[in-house]
Structure 1
């Protein structure tokens, strides 16, 4: 047995660190298990030009403001990694890495967390593994016949990867728009979206998105009409590079193609486009396979929750997977509140 603690937190990214901060403040004994060899979680694997949607002060975890990045209004991914590393060290959070969790099992009064370096017994578990490790690519006819390069968002690095080539970018969300903008100047670009791109107003950034997500959750909790939250505003935040490419007429979306061929894509009306590479900016699924032994999966692969607490296992909390585990909980600024509530509920349960 590796250890016996009050709480095991699975995942050492922003959600896991926020949970650790609040568990420490409540005086609970806990361990954070992180599968990556170094701090920074998914922020270590982003494309080169990625920047936050919000200024540093509005992208902070509880207890510690993110310092501004010199010369940047919106910090880049390297700055976020530095901030998360400092946060972990500042609060002396007990992060064990690299530790890969194989499964969580019921074991009497405990939950047993099996890992590649031994087992932990915990009176409660917070799962904070996010979605970045589970990229989703739709089953489009002909996809396996394509002779060119296929990448997902998590594998894209910079325009250098495909410069001078014919590229199809698939996806009408923020990742699709940002990567399309990244490639608009150095490739023969075809941008494909399920529907016409919906840009948020140019003056809206992460601060407003968090406010809208919070307002929606409060309305739903109070039994009022659904405000629509962030989705009612649009799909794409017009960060400066996206805005520049859009205003230059370089971001012209095509509807979704019907099938893929060895050399490109074909639409339902018979038109076609050649491609050397396809980049799938088609989202992610929650990384929850380690919770399979608990038998809690519900519709759409999610575990039913009340707030962050699993309905079928009150000793388990899920944090940072999206609005279903707390308003804007998959964001730096948004995860603090649900992390605090999860820690408080666990403290009450353990008493």
Structure 2
């Protein structure tokens, strides 16, 4: 068994930010990334995805985006940025290494790898994000629906749906973006349980993230105060509100049932539906912690206080939604939580 100081599970934005922070704290982490490159889930997002924040507000600690700081980077730019960031760290990042189980014995942790092999570590950072656990809501008739069903995690472009009848479920940024581009090639409806909420992307000539930073709202430790964090609004420069107004896509209340290859809408009308896309978010993907008592609740969500496991000193979480603040699981904000985790781990290891 190989013995190391700290194992970081996940080599995406959260794992890389954690690596940067731990190295600065004088520690030597080993990063386990299941895919073939240190870019996390970004290579698997849909083709047209762009960031909601400008480049100047979208960098990890220690390395800015190149080019125009006011542009909104495309998915592939983010992948290239993260790959370059990983190379610059010059850390022990091991791709193609999936952690399948973590054990705790009081003195430290053991990490089992897919295909065999084990590591022992004095500390573990769980930074595997949520892309591996797409949320599929319990919709009536979904399991027996004969049309195509896929989550936004598996959606790439509107081309395969050209000429089809499509419904997109969800009221967030991804749902509205995907529905709007599908409507260019297919007859598309956006189905939601509540009205879509929009937020202006620019205020007084500045991007919204300028004001979030200037006012401190982006970093305020609200995560520990909110029992039920609010759903984020759709950031819009007017394009998506105009698309819904023009019924491209049309916006409807959630359907009441799926039957065979048909959908029944809230007004009682039924029609054939070729495809259903669930843009219904994600949940923390932490199956490797299931064997540690007190690490997760029955729903698989982590027990933590600002990212630290109260039951297991030396176990930290980084990159959780609302871990501490509005920006905890974003490129612009994950570095702050990673730095806090690194400080706690450095102190823990110094004591043990």
Deviation per CA, 1:17-43: give whole Å up to 9, x if none.
000001111111210000011221110
Q: How does 1:202-213 map to 2 (within 5 A)?
A: 202-203=201-202, 205-208=208-211, 211-213=216-218
Q: How many Å separate the matches in 1 of 2:224 and 2:305?
A: 16
Deviation of 1:191 after TM superposition, in Å, equals 0.9
Q: Which structure 1 segments of 5+ residues have no match?
A: 221-225
The answer for unaligned runs of 5 or more in structure 2 is none
- Partner Cα distance (1:172, 1:55) in 2: 22
- 8 Å contact 2:220–2:325 — kept in the other structure? no
User: Which residue is equivalent to 2:122?
Assistant: 123
Q: Find the residue that maps to 2:41 and give its secondary structure.
A: helix
Which residue in 2 is equivalent to 1:109? 107
State the partner residue of 1:74: 72
Provide TM-score, normalisation by structure 1: 0.90
1:212–1:229: 8 Å Cα contact kept in structure 2?
no
Q: Deviations over 1:119-141 (max 9, x none)?
A: 11111100000000101111212
Q: Secondary structure of the equivalent of 2:100?
A: strand
Secondary structure of the residue that 1:293 maps to in structure 2?
A: coil
Question: C-alpha separation between the residues in 2 aligned to 1:314 and 1:325?
Answer: 18
Quote the Cα distance in structure 1 between the aligned partners of 2:210 and 2:263: 38
Supply the distance in 1 between the matched residues of 2:160 and 2:208 (Cα, whole angstroms).
29
Pairs aligned (count): 342
The residue aligned with 2:184 is 185
Are positions 1:7 and 2:6 aligned together? yes
Partner residue, 2:248: 250
Give the whole-Å Cα distance in 2 for the aligned partners of 1:209 and 1:264: 44
Q: Distance in 2 between matches of 1:45 and 1:207?
A: 28
Q: Does 1:265 align with 2:263?
A: yes
Task: After superposition, give the CA deviation of every residue in 1:58-90 in whole Å (9 maximum; x if it has no partner).
Answer: 1000011111369x8211000000000000011
Report the CA distance between 1:252 and its aligned residue. 3.4
- Give the Cα separation in 2 of the matches to 1:219 and 1:106: 26
State the Cα distance separating 1:304 from its structure 2 match. Answer: 1.8
Equivalent residue runs for 1:135-174 within 5 Å: 135-174=134-173
1:48-87 → structure 2 map (5 Å cutoff): 48-68=47-67, 73-87=71-85
Tell me, what secondary structure is at the counterpart of 2:111? Answer: strand
Preserved CA contact (<8 Å) 1:318 1:325: no
Asked whether the 8 Å contact 1:319–1:325 carries over to 2, the reply is no
Say which of 271, 274, 277 aligns to 1:276: 274
Partners of 1:218 and 1:258 in 2: how far apart?
Answer: 34
- The alpha-carbon distance between structure 1 residues 259 and 273, as it changes in their structure 2 partners (threshold 3 A), is same
Query: In terms of mean alpha carbon deviation, does 32-41 or 337-346 score higher?
Result: 32-41
Q: Are 2:10 and 2:128, in contact at CA under 8 Å, matched by a contact in 1? A: yes
Matches within 5 A, 1:312-327: 312-324=311-323, 326-327=325-326
User: 1:159-214, CA deviations, whole angstroms, 9 ceiling, x for partnerless residues?
Assistant: 10201111011111111111011112211111101101111124254455565342
Residue-by-residue CA offset, 1:100-126 (whole Å, 9 max, x unaligned): 111110134120011124111111100
Greater share of helix:
1
1:217 and 2:215 aligned: no
> Structure 1 residue 238 and structure 2 residue 241: aligned?
no
Counterpart contact for 1:181–1:241, Cα < 8 Å = no
**Using the alignment, how far apart are the partners of 1:119 and 1:239 within structure 2?**
50
Contact 1:196–1:253 (Cα < 8 Å) also in 2: no
Contact 1:216 1:229 in 2 (8 A): no
Q: Is the deviation greater in 172-181 or in 262-271?
A: 262-271
SS at match of 1:215: coil
